[in-house]
Amino acid sequence: MNFKRYAIYFMPDGSLGHFGASWLGWDPLAGTRTPFLNLQGFDLDLVTLTKAPRKYGLHATLKPPFRLNLSQNESALIAGFEEFCAKQAPARSGRLTPKIVGGFLALVPQSDPEQLNRLARDCVTFFDPFRAPLNEAELAKRRKRPLNQYQEDMLLKWGYPYVFDAFRFHITLTGQINNQLADRLIPFLSSWLDPILEDPFFIKDLVLAGEDDNGQFHELLRRELRG
């Protein structure tokens, strides 16, 4: 399969991965659409609510999607990914919990995100030589939301505004959501997630993901962090 963009993600497998596939209706590990979760009488338009994150599958972004630099190719990126994961240590934080972040619902660490932040910084810097410079359309897309000066500087230097000091680890669950719906939804989600969320939370492997011509992201390669 040919991919138009690549990204470095944490993509949970196991019970949390199965939940995510049913919640979002897309399984990036299998590369297939999946039946939505049975909400058991909860009045919610899950198809609409999860439209924005569906194309990615359940994930946390560590190196945001990028086009390959003309001096690189997929084989070189795969070799770089193998090298990075072989040298990088696993990362941990406090338990994840559902919370509103930037107007959408996400899983975020309750405490101790420092190792996750360090992993994200390492991903951004290591994989940047593989990234093609942003074109004008891509810059305009990123600037649709107001950026402060730091975010603008990060956009120009690293191709994405929310890195380094602007980064906050999160696993996206919804598109834009109002506080009233979120207040109803968080207890419902917790009933599903409490039995399967680890305490502490660990990132033990990463995924090299690729975006197909329809805009859906697939797992291209998964490797353990062995450093």
pLDDT digits (tens, 9 = 90+) for 26-71: 999 999 999 998 877 778 889 999 999 999 999 999 999 999 999 9
Tokens of 120: 């994200």
Residues 6+ apart with CB under 8 A from 46: 23, 25, 36, 37, 39
pLDDT of residue 77: 98
Cβ pair 118, 225 in contact under 8 A: no
Amino acid of residue 168? R
pLDDT of residue 39: 79
Cα-based torsion angle of the residue sequence 201, 93, 219, 86 in order, rounded to the nearest 10 degrees: -110
Q: What is the pLDDT of residues 105-129, one digit of tens each?
A: 999 999 999 999 999 999 999 999 9
pLDDT of residue 128: 98
Flag whether pLDDT at 200 surpasses 90.
Answer: yes
In the chain, what are the domains? 5-224 (3.90.1140.10)
Buried b (16+ CB within 10 A) or exposed e, 66-90: bbbeeebeeeebeebbeebbeebee
Q: What is the pLDDT of residues 136-186, one digit of tens each?
A: 999 999 999 999 999 999 999 999 999 999 999 999 999 999 999 999 899
- pTM given for the model: 0.95
**Rounded distance, CA 127 to CA 209, Å?**
13
